[in-house]
């Protein structure tokens, strides 16, 4: 209730509060004794000095870290971080050899596309042979493996095999049967070539 009385005294009643020095000069509030005020100022100054000291220590540490990073990089490029094997060739010789090998490869004709097309054709022709040879249900992953499509296979090889599977399916020559677990979740497909 005391606060309400203070606000009434300041505003003069209801409405917008108008504060003036005259109204504040009539208010009484408690001040700590002079000796306590001096101690509060000393404590604050001590804390501010500690903050300034920490800030300067952080700045110094950041400079040291930057210099240390540069020293480590310099030592790494000079080969001073690990013991050196005298039988190792110098980096300059290694770089020259790499450049020469790269230039030599650039001169050679690129026959990779032709090789990829041959590999894809081989995969497709193998599919019918694999299914015909099995004569019974074969897991799809096993068909892929027997066709040479396994981990690390080229995307073109996989797409060619799927295209051939779709073509066989549309022609009615491919039988697909899902294998499920006890809960009815599909585990994989089995494939079989239909007579035709």
As a whole number of angstroms, the distance between CA 149 and CA 152 comes to 8
| Predicted pLDDT of residue 112 | 55
Per residue in 80-130, pLDDT (tens digit) is 777 777 777 777 888 898 899 998 888 887 655 555 555 555 555 577 777
Mean pLDDT of 22-31: 76
Mean pLDDT of 130-140: 80
Q: Does pLDDT of 149 surpass 90?
A: no
Residue written as tokens 């004794």? 33
CATH class for the region spanning 113-180+187-193: mainly alpha
The percent of residues above 70 in pLDDT, for the chain, comes to 78
Domain boundaries defined on the chain: 35-74, 113-180+187-193
Mean pLDDT of 172-187: 84
Residue written as tokens 């700045």? 59
Mean pLDDT of 125-140: 77
Mean pLDDT of 14-36: 75
Is residue 74 exposed (0-12), middle (13-18) or buried (19+ Cβ within 10 Å)?
exposed
| Predicted pLDDT of residue 137 | 84
Is residue 67 exposed (0-12), middle (13-18) or buried (19+ Cβ within 10 Å)?
exposed
Q: Does pLDDT of 169 surpass 60?
A: yes
Supply φ then ψ for residue 183, to 5 degrees. -90, 0
């Amino acid at each position: 209730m005391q606060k309400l009385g203070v606000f009434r005294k300041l505003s003069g009643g209801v409405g917008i509060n108008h504060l003036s020095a005259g109204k504040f000069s009539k208010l009484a509030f408690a001040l700590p004794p002079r000796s306590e005020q001096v101690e509060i100022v000393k404590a604050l100054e001590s804390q501010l000095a500690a903050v300034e000291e920490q800030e300067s220590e952080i700045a110094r540490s950041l400079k040291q870290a930057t210099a240390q990073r540069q020293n480590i990089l310099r030592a790494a490029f000079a080969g001073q971080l690990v013991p050196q094997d005298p039988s190792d060739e110098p980096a300059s010789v290694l770089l020259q050899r790499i450049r020469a090998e790269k230039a030599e490869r650039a001169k050679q004709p690129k026959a990779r596309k032709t090789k990829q097309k041959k590999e894809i054709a081989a995969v497709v022709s193998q599919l019918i042979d694999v299914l015909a040879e099995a004569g019974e249900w074969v897991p799809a992953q096993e068909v892929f493996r027997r066709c040479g499509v396994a981990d690390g296979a080229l995307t073109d090889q996989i797409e060619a095999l799927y295209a051939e599977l779709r073509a066989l399916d549309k022609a009615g020559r491919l039988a697909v049967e899902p294998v499920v677990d006890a809960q009815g979740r599909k585990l994989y497909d089995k494939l079989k070539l239909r007579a035709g």
